Amino acid sequence: MLQRLLLLSLIVVTFASQASHAQSTSDAPRAAVPAPESSEAIVGPIEPVYISNVPGAGQLLPEPIALPESTPASRASTPHKALAIVFDAAAARRFRSLKLGSSAAIVVDQSDGHLLYAKNADVVRSIASISKLMTAMVVLDSGVPLDETIVVEASDVYMPTTRPSRLRPGMSLTRGELLQLALMASENAAAAALARSHPGGMSAFVAAMNAKAHALGMRDTRFLEPTGLNAGNVSTAYDLALMADAGYTYEMIRQFTTSGSHDLPLMDRRRPTLISFYNSNDLVRNGEWQIGLSKTGFISEAGRCVVMQAKIAERSVIIVLLDANGSSARSLDAFRVKHWLEGVEPAVATKHRQKRRM
């Protein structure tokens, strides 16, 4: 019953989003950002694209499966002290000097919530594997045992429009190992197995993802599945900054998303095989960075994406970069942000595009 009420509440909030924005009567108004002299950073007034205008958004989420009373329910309704993003006038004067190739971006001071940079931060777009941050929070909130063994199934591995998985049907991993692979290496099969084995199954898991997003104040966010392969998983740079800030409060998420690599002895065809997995964000292995949380994403509809928590120039910041134009453009934009915060003139943005999903 609680799951159904949460789902109904989420649907109402989604379709009420456009009206509440138009009337400017939100309980938590977003920072008003003045228009810059250059069109590189589109900041205020931004014409938002709301979820109700995204194709397919009118489709209802699957009906959740009732959880047994003895099963620990997700704490998705427990409110996180959301990052209170406020306008930083001094930083706004420097917007012109930061030219990013990403279609949308936001940089926020994590300690005080000051908005340091914004570009199309309220525009709803596909977020690809950034979705796995929410997948991880739902798993950890649920209280399910991380040492429980889960057998990978064919439905977890053989999904359409995905890069080949290192996992194979029949392999046995603990829930904690699956969580690490989903976060560090962006393994889609691992994320799918986590949701499938969740109490109540996939539909209950997706309902918990959306309930958690609602509890965090992510007003323009919707999840349809746990991997991010579905372009219907949508959000904004603003909302993802809130999600990254919340994810940073989980020690295991911080640890797994910043691990450079991990070797796992897996049983493949009844014999042990050592398989090496690597972090999908090369910056975590770069000595110039102090990264506390990281998650990348890519599908054609989303472009190259990344959310990070990092310490730059003695300041803890949340960085969200969406729809960068190529395999290296995501990292180049991250370095531009870093140099900008350090007072170093950033390099000129480049344009390039590739097609591999991550």
Q: Is the distance from CB of 285 to CB of 309 less than 8 angstroms?
A: no
Residues 115, 53: Cα–Cα separation, whole Å: 27
Q: How far is CA 60 from CA 5, 159, 222, 225, in A?
A: 14, 22, 11, 13
Dihedral of the CA atoms 55, 233, 165, 273 (nearest 10)? -160
Question: Which one of the listed residues 103, 126, 129, 259 is annotated catalytic?
Answer: 129
74, 126, 186, 235: the catalytic one is 186
Q: How far is it, in rounded angstroms, from Cα 183 to Cα 168?
A: 18
Q: Is 132 a catalytic residue?
A: yes
Q: Furthest-apart CA pair in the chain: how many Å?
A: 64
Tell me, yes or no, if 97 is annotated catalytic: no
Q: Taken in order 328, 331, 335, 337, is the CA torsion positive or negative?
A: positive
User: Can you read off the two tokens belonging to residue 273?
Assistant: 């095989």
Tokens of 245: 């800030």
- Amino acid occupying residue 104: A
8 A C-beta contact, residue 348 and residue 332: no
Question: What six digits make up the tokens of 37?
Answer: 């002299």
**Active-site residue among 132, 212, 295, 338?**
132
| Closest to 125 measured CA to CA, from 211, 228, 45, 26 | 228
In angstroms, the Cα distances linking 171 to 147, 152, 189 are 15, 5, 11
How far apart are alpha carbons 321 and 308 in whole angstroms?
9
3-class SS of residue 337: helix
C-alpha closest to that of 257 among 289, 293, 283, 221: 293
CB 189 within 8 A of CB 167: yes
Burial environment of residue 248 by CB neighbours within 10 A (0 to 12, 13 to 18, 19 or more)? buried
User: Does residue 9 have an active-site annotation?
Assistant: no
| Token pair listed for 107 | 């940089």
Catalytically active residues are 129, 132, 186
